[in-house]
A = this chain, B = another copy of it.
Amino acid sequence: MKTILLKNRPKGRPSVSDFEFVENDSPLEIKDGELLLETAYVSVDPYLRGKMNDTKSYTPPFELDKPVHSMIVAKVIASKHKKYNNGDYLAGMLDWKTQQISDGEGLTKVDSEKAPLSSYLGILGLTGLTAYLGLTEIGKPKKGETLVVSGAAGAVGSVVGQIGKILGLRVIGIAGSDEKVELLKSKFGFDEGINYNTTEDMKAAIAKAAPNGVDIYFDNVGGPISDAVLFNINQFARFVVCGAISVYNNTELPKSVSVQPFLVRNSALMQGFIIFNYQAKYPEALKQLSAWLAEGKLTHSETVVEGFDNIPQAFIDLFDGKNKGKMVVKI
Contacts and interface: CB of A to CB of B under 8 A. Distances in A.
A245 to B, nearest CB: 10
A251 interface: no
A261 interface: yes
B270 A270 contact: yes
A1 interface: no
A183 interface: no
Nearest to A259: B259
Contact of A272 (B56, B247, B257, B264): B264
A257 B272 CA distance: 16
B267 A273 contact: yes
A271 B274 contact: no
Contacts of A235: 58
Interface residues on A, range: 35 or more
B247 A263 contact: no
Chain copies in complex:
2
A58 B267 contact: yes
Contact of A253 (B253, B257, B270): B257
A222 interface: yes
A285 B190 CA distance: 44
A214 interface: no
Contacts of A268: 271-272
A291 B224 CA distance: 48
Contacts of A264: 241-244, 272-274
A273 B258 CA distance: 16
Nearest to A263: B272
A57 B260 contact: no
B222 A265 contact: no
A50 B267 CA distance: 14
Contacts of A313: none
A226 B267 contact: no
A244 B258 contact: yes
A254 interface: yes
A316 interface: no
A256 interface: yes
Interface string A194-234: 00000000000000000000000001001100100000000
A244 B243 CA distance: 25
A271 B270 contact: yes
Given A58-B235, A235-B58, A267 B257 contact: no
B58 A260 contact: no
A130 B258 CA distance: 22
A109 to B, nearest CB: 29
A242 B266 CA distance: 11
Contacts of A186: none
Interface of A: 50, 55-58, 219, 222-223, 226, 235, 241-244, 247-248, 253-274, 277
